[in-house]
């Protein structure tokens, strides 16, 4: 079909790239439909993933994706001025106790780009006993309400 290999690679390379871009965009749109807004303030926007894991009759594991309006970091090295853990988004895995109406952070990941994409800057989790606390932010309150309140339960799909 193509006389010159350069044109062949250009045509199929471009088609392949456009196909990949279309798949990526449709996946992102689909992913956004599976999340509900739980917080939007001057510092960050948070979405609850519309799936959960039932750990026990009163305990569920839910994930929140938090996007920061500006890059966040943990300060800088006093000698080298290297910025510590710069990130633009995070995922937080909460354990929600519906009997108590409380939650605990089980694990988290910090990402260099928005929407939990790019390199993972830092990740950690709690291995011991969890400390449950009353929700103190819109994100935490809406994670509990959307997981526990049957009349408002949006996070109804199990993983």
Write down the pLDDT at residue 6.
47
Give me the phi and psi of 33, to 5 degrees please: -70, -25
Determine the pLDDT at residue 148.
87
Specify whether 109 is located in the same domain as 144: yes
Query: What is the strand order of the sheet 102-113 is part of?
Result: 35-40, 44-56, 59-72, 87-97, 102-113, 117-125
Same domain, 76 and 113: yes
Instruction: Answer yes or no: do 87 and 121 share one domain.
Output: yes
Structurally, the chain folds into a number of domains equal to 2
Same domain for 24 and 43, yes or no, is no
- Same-domain status, 82 and 6: no
Q: What is the CATH number for 40? A: 2.40.128.710
Structure tokens at 35: 């999340």
Distance, in Å, from the CA atom of 85 to the CA atom of 126, rounded to the nearest integer, reads 19
What are φ and ψ of residue 122, in 5° steps?
Answer: -160, 140
Q: What's the pLDDT at 14?
A: 47
1 falls within a domain: yes
Distance between CA atoms of residues 91 and 18, nearest Å: 29
**Other CB atoms within 10 Å distance of the CB of residue 53:** 13
Q: What's the confidence (pLDDT) of residue 52?
A: 85
Same domain, 26 and 55: no
Q: Are 50 and 155 in contact (CB under 8 A)?
A: yes
Burial of 45 (0-12, 13-18, 19+ CB in 10 A): middle
Domain holding 44, by residue range, is: 36-148
pLDDT given for residue 30 in this prediction: 37
Each residue's pLDDT expressed in tens, for the chain with a length of 159 residues:
445 454 445 444 544 444 433 333 333 433 555 888 999 999 999 999 988 899 999 899 999 999 999 999 999 999 999 999 999 999 999 999 999 999 999 999 999 999 999 999 999 999 999 999 999 999 999 999 999 875 444 444 443
């Amino acid at each position: 079909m193509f006389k010159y290999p350069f044109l062949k690679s250009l045509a199929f390379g471009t088609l392949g790239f456009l196909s990949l871009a279309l798949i990526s965009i449709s996946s992102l749109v689909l992913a956004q439909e599976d999340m509900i807004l739980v917080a939007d303030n001057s510092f960050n926007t948070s979405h609850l993933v519309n799936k959960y894991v039932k750990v026990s009759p009163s305990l569920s594991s839910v994930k929140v994706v938090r996007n920061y309006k500006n890059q966040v970091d943990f300060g800088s090295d006093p000698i080298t001025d290297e910025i510590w853990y710069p990130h633009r988004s995070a995922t937080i895995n909460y354990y929600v106790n519906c009997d108590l109406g409380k939650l605990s952070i089980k694990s988290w990941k910090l990402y260099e780009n928005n929407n939990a994409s790019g390199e993972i800057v830092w990740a950690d989790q709690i291995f011991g006993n969890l400390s449950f606390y009353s929700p103190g932010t819109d994100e935490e309150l809406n994670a509990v309400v959307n997981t526990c309140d049957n009349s408002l339960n949006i996070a109804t799909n199990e993983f």
